[in-house]
Chain A
Amino acid sequence: MDAFLNDIRYAVRNLIKRPAFTLVAAITLALGIGANTAIFSSVYALLLKPLPFPELDRVVTVWHSYPSRGVTRNEVSMANYIDWRAQNQSFEQLALYRWWSVNLTAIDPPERIQGFLVTANFFDVLGVKPFMGRNFAEDENQPGKNVAILTYNLWQRRFGADPNILGQTVTLAGFACTVIGVMPENFNYPSNAEVYSTIEITPTSAANRQFNSYYVVGRLKNGASLQSAQADIDNITARLEQQYPETNTGVRATVFPIVADTVRKYEAGIWISMAAVAFVLLIACANVANLMLARASGRQKEIALRAALGASRWRIIRQLLTESSIVALIGGALGVLIAVWGIDALRTANPGDAAKFAPGWHQLGINFTVLIFTIGVSLVSGLLFGLAPALQVSKPDLNSALKEGTRQSSGRSHRLRSSLVVLEVALSLVLLVGAGLFFRSFISLFKTDPGFNPDNVLTMNLVLPSTKYQERPRIAAFYAGLVQRVKAQAGVQSVAAVNHLPLGGSNSSDAYLVEGAPEPPPGKEDIGRYRVCTPDYFATMQIPIVKGRAFTEQDKTGALPVAIVNETFARRHWPGQEAIGKRIRFDAPLDRAPWMEVVAVIKDVKHELTVEVTPEFYLPHAQDAWRSMVLVARTTVDPASLAGSIRQDVWTIDKDQPVFDVRTMQEVRSMSVGLQKFNSLMIGIFAAVALLLAAVGIYGVMAFAVTQRTQEIGIRMALGARAPDVLKLVVVNGMKLAVFGLAIGLVASLVLTRFISNLLFGVARTDPLTFGVVSLCLLAAAFLACYLPARRATKVDPLVALRYE
């Protein structure tokens, strides 16, 4: 213990004596450790502990799946859920919930909030109790109960944390609901939830196997595994398929751990960032190891003296490792500061609106686990960068090291330093290639023609409450009236409404039939996306009509049902034929789903930039009046400037009608690639840091080599070497290392990019342009890093150099 304390004391004294070395090493490490800490904090908050539920490994989600169609996750019907619940052996509880985007009214201002309708056992499954009030009771799934549980956030935000909120009524979707509880502060599931109410289970809904709009969460019984639960569910779905062939043919179910299921959309991006920062830290360690080696060569005499005085090799190694550990811990402490800043930046960036959709986002920060990680990473780094130099210098040649004037480092040391630089270059290249591919992917995504013109379009969402707008004509009349009113505004060129905005993230799909085509067997129906819009939608979005006509005011209830299809739809079903005049209908009883005549074919529209266009059809809103619509207005002025007056138009028609998510179409488009943009930005930043560190590493090695070779350079100059000869000598030596590292990095990149190929769009993972450009960048940086010491080498005065004699 005493020896250990002595080691620490001596190490601290030594580091204080060389403040420049200590500072440079600590800052280099801080960059690497800080980045690791920041990203690990997001791994911890978003991937490892996103959901604050007890016994989290027992909580699962269950989805419908259609193996024959390659669909692994689809919403569930209530009747199937009820059967699963009744027949399973593996679950303690199974709960059902569905989205409930709802207007909060009778409070100023009215607001659109995100709610969920749940079965009474929903919170029991999750293992969370209200922090105030009570949970839903079993009989509250009966119709007409109208009870609500608020999230802590909504209670704070809209009700001023009123301690007497329990028992009060709030108006949700036009219904007066009694508040029976408030959830705890950190409870945010499903993401972005603000209020919960109960699903009404009626005999009709309980028998419905076709309305797939529900999500299922379950808690496994103690001792039940994911596999046993899956086998259990497989048996039940097979039975249901036999029992209900009409609706359940091909319908299976898949059980997922809730965490993996929740984080699946952004998990890969975070792990890739983690890998990237690990690379940055390795590069930082290589740099510091190089610094240590350079410094060690100046300490050979001291080490030799210690050895001559009887210090064992292990004792010397321990002393040196104590020093490197202290440097690493200083780097770690500075790294935490960098991480705090980084996490703040991450919060501000809020990629892909993660604050709304990523559970655990609000827990992002430095906590005990993150600190333990940082200390661990620091100590491992200390070992990584300290071990090689320690092993190297702990075996001094006493005879030569103790001679006066000896100042040479060994060839082994030089080889090790060169190898470290090669490693740095290789790692940097891998990161640069990754960054390059993500950047190209993002650009390609952004440049993708979505099939409409997103410039100068303002969008805003409205959901009419079912209590007030029950009849379809009334709904249709509201939107028709709103469109007319907005159209009359100065600065508005064209206006329409659509149920799902392109690139907005939501879509509707359903099975359909084509007249004249053989009826598909159950489970093999054609599934198509469909949208509902008002007449001027295609003109407003500037979606070209290839053939036929747009919807008109005459396409209303009672008139001939019509539809417009996209080119992919027409090509799929009527290749080489005239699509106009053909008929399609939803796959439902004929009295509810009449044939619709195709009146136009439009150009394909990309509703998700990363997904191939599928068959799609549009229906006139007057014939299928949705309550939830998005108003789109093409303007001749800055679209954002009209937001206020258009909102006013809505309130002129209905003063209680909330308007939400008011955005320009360019903002919507930008948000749709937000995650890709963020991924590319993150990897780009890490790659830039890596490049900088690698360049500093090359510079350090070459500068050290120049110092070591002063005499040699002097001799060469005495023998006639001119400045360009010396410049070439140093640069070629450095560039050899860079090229060697580059070659290794290229091979490693070819292997490692396999892991990101799924996240790329419009660019091959072996894209020669990306590989070429980043290689050139790296070589340019390496050249600069060699050139500076080389310039210094040309200034060597042979006279001075030869005086070493």
Chain B
Amino acid sequence: MISLRGVEKFFPHGPTKTYVLRRINLDIKPGEFVSIMGPSGAGKSTLLHILGMHDHSWTGEYYFDDVPVHQLDAKKRAALRNRNIGFVFQSYHLLDDQTVFENLELPLSYRDVSKKDRQSIVCDTLDRFQMVGKKDLFPTQLSGGQQQLVGIARAVVASPRIILADEPTGNLHSAQGKEIMDMFKRLNDEGTTIIQVTHSEINAGYGNRVVQLEDGWIVNGEASLASHPAA
């Protein structure tokens, strides 16, 4: 599904370069639940944003379903991303002036889904996440855990094949974190590929593979352990 070959990212500093990622080769198969781990500054979030096609100033090759992402222009890359990828952020990044319902509706509106379909999809998602009663609340009226649940719901509302999560429980206490990770596990069980950045061994335990980064290098987990959790 995802294949990175020789991906590197650096910042030029005068005549020298500061590398953030070095010679990254990584394959991720559909249905995997991958945890990217490593110390601060190892390049975890950078790798996640390259995978999420937000970052395009890198070198190397990136194939998504055999489509060479590194050769796509910004518009095609955005279209590919919108079709396949959902994001969950550490700080939730919900829009404070929009209700839970409107926050969920947002990704669909960017995918030209009709108003009627949007409403039905959002209602289904709210139901699935058991948040129907909160649909008219604003994010500031929710707890951190509830906000992150909305963040996940927003990530899945457009039915992506992959969810990228950047330290999704980083701002939550352990009980809330568990609830979120259970949700990820459930989604993964339903077939969604999950790639998370985490510092937590416990959270990594929800997945079936760990990619360890240090100083921009993958030191462990480069290859896929399983083609499918069931495998």
Contact = CB atoms under 8 A, between A and B. Distances in A.
A725 B111 CA distance: 10
A715 to B, nearest CB: 4
Contacts of A721: 110
Contacts of A715: 89, 93, 95
A711 B107 CA distance: 16
Contacts of A716: 95, 106, 110
B155 to A, nearest CB: 8
Given A715-B95, A805-B90, A720 B158 contact: yes
B54 A725 contact: no
Given A722-B110, A725-B110, A798-B54, A805 B91 contact: yes
Interface residues of B, number: 21
B209 interface: no
B62 interface: no
A689 to B, nearest CB: 35
A715 B96 CA distance: 12
Interface in B158-185: 158
A490 interface: no
B78 A799 contact: no
A412 to B, nearest CB: 14
B55 interface: yes
A645 to B, nearest CB: 75
B54 A718 contact: yes
Contacts of B208: none
Interface in A719-734: 719-722, 725
A53 to B, nearest CB: 66
Interface string A773-805: 000000000000000000000000011001001
Contacts of B95: 712, 715-716
A719 B49 contact: no
Nearest to B75: A722
A799 B49 contact: yes
B87 A718 contact: yes
A720 B110 contact: yes
A798 B75 CA distance: 15
A802 B54 CA distance: 10
B82 interface: yes
A722 B52 CA distance: 15
Interface string B53-92: 0110000000000000000000100100110000101110
A404 to B, nearest CB: 16
B54 A719 contact: no
Contacts of A725: 109-110
A268 to B, nearest CB: 49
Given A798-B54, A799-B49, A799-B55, A719 B90 contact: no
Given A799-B49, A799-B55, A720 B107 contact: yes
A719 B108 CA distance: 9
Contacts of A722: 75, 78, 110
A418 to B, nearest CB: 14
A770 B202 CA distance: 71
Interface string B83-124: 000010111010100000000001101110000000000000
Q: Which of B49, B54, B75, B158 lies at the interface centre, i.e. has the most chain A CB atoms within 10 A of its CB?
A: B54
Nearest to B74: A723
Nearest to B81: A720
Contact of B78 (A712, A720, A802, A805): A720
Contacts of B109: 725
Contact of B107 (A712, A719, A799, A802): A719
A282 B158 CA distance: 49
B154 interface: yes
B43 to A, nearest CB: 13
Contacts of B93: 711, 715, 718, 802, 805
B111 A720 contact: yes
Contacts of A719: 87, 106-107, 110, 154
A798 B45 CA distance: 13
B164 to A, nearest CB: 10
Interface string A271-307: 0000000000000000000000000000000000000
A752 B52 CA distance: 57
Nearest to B167: A805
A344 B152 CA distance: 68
A131 B22 CA distance: 97
Nearest to A411: B97
A52 B93 CA distance: 72
Interface string B26-58: 000000000000000000000001001011000
Interface of A: 711-712, 715-716, 718-722, 725, 798-799, 802, 805
15 contacts: A715-B89, A718-B52, A718-B87, A718-B93, A719-B106, A719-B110, A720-B81, A720-B107, A722-B110, A725-B109, A802-B49, A802-B89, A802-B93, A805-B90, A805-B93
Given A715-B89, A805-B89, A805-B93, 16 more contacts: A712-B95, A716-B110, A718-B89, A719-B107, A719-B110, A719-B154, A720-B78, A720-B82, A720-B107, A720-B110, A720-B111, A722-B75, A722-B110, A802-B49, A802-B54, A802-B89
Q: What are the 9 A-B residue pairs with the smallest beta carbon separation, nearest first?
A: A720-B110, A720-B82, A715-B93, A719-B107, A721-B110, A799-B54, A805-B91, A798-B54, A720-B107
